Structure 1
């Protein structure tokens, strides 16, 4: 009986206790703005969760009693609050204090979860929308080049910029849109990034191998373009309208973005249009074939719940872009245009009429690029761990029209379909170790349609990789690293090309077709890679850091490097690949010193990068040293493979004296040397083959800026700035077979003003930015400008060769909040 009474009492107490289980919930804000990814921990119970995008958090089954609640998150000061839970539902809201942005900026690219910038040993740079708005940009990559030391771009006119990081580009730089890898025929010289520049709020740049998290194609680094969304306000429509005009090529841009939140649901939508005629410089005048017209559309819907969130988004990119070829009249140096297919003589074409040089009408020889993207990204929370899933589908459609007698016939017509998958599981912290396991990759299929030129075969690609990443803090030292295994299979069937009897152009045919030529014999190969990294950050003090990192990267050869055998009409190049190429592997060492002082921020980053099986382009010549011409009027390049080494440094010194708060003086320097270590080639050709192609020269950028600390009438914090971009001579170039030539240095002086325009009640009416680039209309050629090599004469009457970069350009931009 005594035992029965004790058991009854125990059950009664348990029932009462269970009946007193309550809910604890609330909202986390910072400066009254909802803040996500803040860890909320009940110390006494060792229970934790994270705030969602709306700043909300939620606990269930919390026994009644008094508890210490700890709020912590990257970029914010920790806050501990004591609370008594004694009702069915207890509410606890908290507003956290943000730390200094330059010390506590949070990044999500190249790490396993949101991380303070200072804790990552890998060099990562962040470019804000504010910085992008204050510069003249004709595309997003150009904005990043101006704002991040060590990033450059190979360009083909004003609307095509291919990013390079520390001298490495093409498929070695992985570009992401909202975390989803961008796939859009990026093997081509004139194939740009298919993203709406007005729809991006932030760019994060990883400088160095990021193969650990992303696999192949991140050998040089990663650029993550994060979409813009306005500050949400429940039940109200928010947004912005952007309009931009640029004087040099008459570029007109307009973009409208809207956002709406209702309880747990958030919706965004944006539409953008841009158009421009040919750009101009004082040497060439208006450069024929550089006009473009671009349209963008994007939309997303996101739901936030106590279990996590799910976001579904769609984007559409449509670009009509002319194809320059640089043909000219030999005496007047005026641009000419192709009017014949058969019998075309590139040195005897008609001159382009003046009225066709500044028209917004797209000429018949152009590219039409369309990119469709649909993806879902979700997070599922499980107490102290979470699962992140990203699934996406993309289609890139590229048509290049190069037949003047049959303008509706595409020379190149390829459709690339890609399915991406990315799963990351953030494990519960164990002994202070934050760790993640992941699996990601893609399936890809590329098909040629009704075209006449076939630079690459139809192929299928399957990519899969798994990784483990961990980080831990030991006092003043943050250590992180991990390992990854990758497998990529690429294959294609026999691909035959014949001649269309009616048009005389090439066409894809069956193996049994009379006169068919086997242009691409079948191929199948697996590529394997092991990559990893280990790095540390030593926090000497809160304002002085030393970072060191060593990483091994991996990249499988891309389709054009192993499979190409034909003309790319837009590039005016015949590419020849090599199917025996091995994957690239690199070992890069980084060391950096960062100091955030009272009156200055100083950063010095040094790197050394050794690459095995480096693949590069080289112009093809015959035994007599004459250029090999397979297709008249087009160059021929053959891919090579050898060892390579790149080393260099980036230095930033930003002065912001506290005694003169309105003044800032920002400076950066970037320097890289790329050495070709092919001993056989060096022994035969010496200095001509000593350096790698597409290596930028020494660059120095300086900006002096004055910003009013108080409103001046209706001007809220107006600013005025002057900046200079200095490029040294580039005499360290790949000169074999005239693949590259010496490039003279130059200095561009720029200036700008801007302000927020506010009403008397301090309501923001609009932001205005006026910027002038190349104030003195300097004539210059960048060594990374492909148009520099568009020249068909050994000599010219004015002593100038190739096409020059854009001259003076003034930009007017207005952003109106809604």
Structure 2
């Protein structure tokens, strides 16, 4: 690591004085008129600007070499072109009108391409769009992405499910580093606020080649908000009110950049009372969250670096039964108090036609769980002692994780783009509470990888290989080593002029986590006594994924199918015993198969380009090889959306929508689950931007479950107690740009 840092500094200094720039115009391909406020962005350099009233732009302090420019504006096809700096100094870029939404660069894959250029299918959605649908939290919002659901404990706790897999089988990345926050627990949420997050990317399927162990089921990649464009400043305020919980979230941010230095910060506050169903409030689903994000960066023509910090504190009620009916927002016992610190650095050294990327991260997760204390003595006589006692956490764990990711993008050789890299993690878990669910332990990961994107005339191929080793040392003496080779192969081609086909084959693995290996205690959040199994083997899977897409100026259609075979699938099973009044669950293994997919249709008929009709269906089935079904598999669902976009002299980016989501019966259940009845939920919304005091204001109004339907989602952890999900909720949002 010392060698890499020294090389980084040396290369930055030797190239400091070269000055490269580019200028140009962005025009309409038909009218040849300049396009105002088109976004011009160098994706690898992470530097961009906007065109002026004549379609003109200019950028300075650019590194030498071949770079991609992404040009986008609403109402036109996004265009990606390659330029060579300093050979290219003046350029004209023509865009074609289109009703299709703007494409974005996919950051979670190694070559940073548009999705239309990617060999791997990746879902991309902005947080802004997720919030306009009425999402209360980030974990709630991601369920609007095809193939993604959430295991929920009330409203404040949710964890992502990608095609039936969750917990340690799904990696979460934020600020470019992997999040580690004891994600093994069913009632452990993301530990992240949507404040300061710009977009979400989802890799559905094994991504062990790119991310190592724990990416067996997929990756949820959260892109932080970008810094301000060079020589600009920007401030904004955002507030949302939610009628159902009488709750709110609000945030304020400021960012500024000059030619070399940039910084930003954003603070947010969220509070919600217990959510309300058709007939009652669900006691202790209330929660409070405070979040602060800050970042600073430096960039010249050969080197860029940025440092980001996120502090998130959440007090989350853990619901157990229907009791107190109130709109107070302070959680009752039992509750979690979780503090997450995420510190990351992201640096790039630009060489001639190659670059070195170095990402470093440190995550400090402080998890406390408070519960009622039971006394055999007279509680009235010891009321004072009781009050002091409940201030001490029954379960208190600190998880400290340092990780690194170093990749070298080799010079392009003919048709080959190649990346080699090394990744690793050092993690320490320490207990401080009176109870202990998992022991003090140290985990070390290291992995090496190589992957190539090969460009042929009629098709693109991506392939790669990787080796990983994980070592777990428990203070009590247990030591385990796990290692695995994994590979991936994908091909993308145009079967016809408007039809794109993708086939991806990939293997993945997941080493057993500390909970699965060593648990021995009551897990209050799940009301069960869990016993680990030190003889567990690594899970290993092989997935086949096939995707077909048809796209023209009026219609988009896709069908995506997968088959995922997992050897040594780890699961919890009751053994019939009772300890401390809790049923005993032990960890077992068996081979399993998951299969299913997504189908989608989007119609935007010309000349009615303002009209959008969207429909999507998703399905997944999970079974062990003995034909018994896997637990917590999402029910099949169908979503239909009618959306209208409009512009008025006084209103910009106007929209309205009506959405009907139908979730079908879930009868394919494990031996320890019950059937779930299907339901349909109606949502609607409207919004737009308008000038206010010489600045732009955006107002959104949305409603979810407008018919106040009484229902239970199959992935709700409150389902065994027959507790309903949330009823009608009206969300009003305001964003004001300064």
Q: Distance in 1 between matches of 2:202 and 2:80?
A: 26
Distance change >3 Å, CA 572–CA 81, structure 1 → 2: closer
- Once the two structures are superposed, what CA deviation does each residue of 1:692-723 show, in whole Å capped at 9, x if it has no partner? 01111111111111222x31x53224222110
The counterpart of 1:768, out of the listed 699, 706, 710, is: 699
Distance change >3 Å, CA 95–CA 131, structure 1 → 2: farther
Instruction: Report the counterpart of residue 587 of structure 1 in structure 2.
Output: 542
**Counterpart secondary structure, 2:214:** coil
Distance change >3 Å, CA 130–CA 476, structure 1 → 2: farther
The counterpart of 2:578, out of the listed 626, 629, 639, is: 629
**Counterpart secondary structure, 2:607:** helix
Instruction: Report the counterpart of residue 244 of structure 1 in structure 2.
Output: 240
Instruction: Report the counterpart of residue 742 of structure 1 in structure 2.
Output: 675
After TM superposition, give the deviation of residue 455 of structure 1 in Å: 1.1
Distance change >3 Å, CA 70–CA 769, structure 1 → 2: closer
- Once the two structures are superposed, what CA deviation does each residue of 1:126-145 show, in whole Å capped at 9, x if it has no partner? 01133123111122121111
Whether contact under 8 Å (1:265, 1:301) holds in the other structure is yes
Whether contact under 8 Å (1:403, 1:410) holds in the other structure is no
After TM superposition, give the deviation of residue 562 of structure 1 in Å: 1.1
Instruction: Report the counterpart of residue 816 of structure 1 in structure 2.
Output: 736
Whether contact under 8 Å (1:563, 1:578) holds in the other structure is yes
Whether contact under 8 Å (1:232, 1:259) holds in the other structure is no
Answer yes or no: is 1:669 the counterpart of 2:585. no
Instruction: Report the counterpart of residue 577 of structure 1 in structure 2.
Output: 532
Distance change >3 Å, CA 752–CA 803, structure 1 → 2: same
Instruction: Report the counterpart of residue 359 of structure 1 in structure 2.
Output: 328
Whether contact under 8 Å (1:618, 1:637) holds in the other structure is yes
TM-score in terms of structure 2 length: 0.88
Matching of residues 799-814 of structure 1 within 5 Å = 802-814=722-734
After TM superposition, give the deviation of residue 620 of structure 1 in Å: 3.3
- Once the two structures are superposed, what CA deviation does each residue of 1:45-87 show, in whole Å capped at 9, x if it has no partner? xxxxx68457435578x9xxxxxx997669535488999x9xx
After TM superposition, give the deviation of residue 26 of structure 1 in Å: 3.1
The counterpart of 1:473, out of the listed 433, 455, 468, is: 455
Q: Distance in 1 between matches of 2:609 and 2:209?
A: 42
- Once the two structures are superposed, what CA deviation does each residue of 1:478-518 show, in whole Å capped at 9, x if it has no partner? 10010000000001122xxxxxxxxxxxxxxxxxxxxxxxx
Q: Distance in 1 between matches of 2:267 and 2:313?
A: 12
Instruction: Report the counterpart of residue 37 of structure 1 in structure 2.
Output: 42
Instruction: Report the counterpart of residue 292 of structure 1 in structure 2.
Output: 287
Distance change >3 Å, CA 438–CA 560, structure 1 → 2: same
After TM superposition, give the deviation of residue 435 of structure 1 in Å: 0.3
**Counterpart secondary structure, 2:684:** strand
- Once the two structures are superposed, what CA deviation does each residue of 1:208-263 show, in whole Å capped at 9, x if it has no partner? 110001000111111110112365361x4312111001011111111001101122
Structure 1 range deviating more: 220-229 or 398-407: 398-407
Instruction: Report the counterpart of residue 517 of structure 1 in structure 2.
Output: none
The counterpart of 1:390, out of the listed 359, 362, 370, is: 359
Instruction: Report the counterpart of residue 55 of structure 2 in structure 1.
Output: none
Distance change >3 Å, CA 759–CA 358, structure 1 → 2: closer
**Counterpart secondary structure, 1:609:** strand
Q: Distance in 2 between matches of 1:554 and 1:82?
A: 41
After TM superposition, give the deviation of residue 415 of structure 1 in Å: 0.2
After TM superposition, give the deviation of residue 377 of structure 1 in Å: 0.3
User: Unpaired runs of 5+ in structure 1?
Assistant: 1-20, 40-49, 63-68, 86-90, 327-334, 337-351, 495-521, 622-627, 683-689, 792-801
After TM superposition, give the deviation of residue 150 of structure 1 in Å: 0.6
Matching of residues 157-556 of structure 1 within 5 Å = 157-229=154-226, 231-232=228-229, 234=231, 236-283=232-279, 285-326=280-321, 335-336=322-323, 352=324, 354=325, 357-404=326-373, 405=386, 406-449=389-432, 451-494=433-476, 522-541=477-496, 543-556=498-511
Q: Distance in 1 between matches of 2:617 and 2:127?
A: 22
Q: Distance in 2 between matches of 1:631 and 1:81?
A: 69
**Counterpart secondary structure, 1:280:** coil
Whether contact under 8 Å (1:743, 1:781) holds in the other structure is yes
Distance change >3 Å, CA 22–CA 185, structure 1 → 2: closer
- Once the two structures are superposed, what CA deviation does each residue of 1:533-564 show, in whole Å capped at 9, x if it has no partner? 00100123553201101101111111111111
Distance change >3 Å, CA 481–CA 56, structure 1 → 2: farther
Distance change >3 Å, CA 482–CA 529, structure 1 → 2: same
**Counterpart secondary structure, 1:771:** strand
TM-score in terms of structure 1 length: 0.80
User: Unpaired runs of 5+ in structure 2?
Assistant: 1-16, 27-34, 50-58, 72-77, 374-385
Q: Distance in 1 between matches of 2:67 and 2:716?
A: 54
Answer yes or no: is 1:732 the counterpart of 2:665. no
Instruction: Report the counterpart of residue 641 of structure 1 in structure 2.
Output: 589
Distance change >3 Å, CA 586–CA 104, structure 1 → 2: farther
CA RMSD of aligned residues (A): 2.6
Distance change >3 Å, CA 281–CA 470, structure 1 → 2: same
Distance change >3 Å, CA 455–CA 78, structure 1 → 2: closer
- Once the two structures are superposed, what CA deviation does each residue of 1:7-28 show, in whole Å capped at 9, x if it has no partner? xxxxxxxxxxxxxx99653357
The counterpart of 1:700, out of the listed 618, 638, 643, is: 638
Instruction: Report the counterpart of residue 612 of structure 1 in structure 2.
Output: 567
Instruction: Report the counterpart of residue 786 of structure 1 in structure 2.
Output: 717
**Counterpart secondary structure, 2:393:** coil
Whether contact under 8 Å (1:109, 1:206) holds in the other structure is no
After TM superposition, give the deviation of residue 29 of structure 1 in Å: 7.9
Q: Distance in 1 between matches of 2:425 and 2:440?
A: 17
Distance change >3 Å, CA 38–CA 165, structure 1 → 2: closer
Structure 1 range deviating more: 117-126 or 237-246: 117-126
Distance change >3 Å, CA 82–CA 584, structure 1 → 2: closer
After TM superposition, give the deviation of residue 643 of structure 1 in Å: 0.3
Q: Distance in 2 between matches of 1:296 and 1:599?
A: 42
Distance change >3 Å, CA 386–CA 29, structure 1 → 2: farther
Answer yes or no: is 1:135 the counterpart of 2:90. no
Instruction: Report the counterpart of residue 651 of structure 2 in structure 1.
Output: 715
**Counterpart secondary structure, 1:786:** coil
Q: Distance in 2 between matches of 1:698 and 1:645?
A: 17
**Counterpart secondary structure, 2:571:** strand
Q: Distance in 1 between matches of 2:240 and 2:95?
A: 33
After TM superposition, give the deviation of residue 434 of structure 1 in Å: 0.1
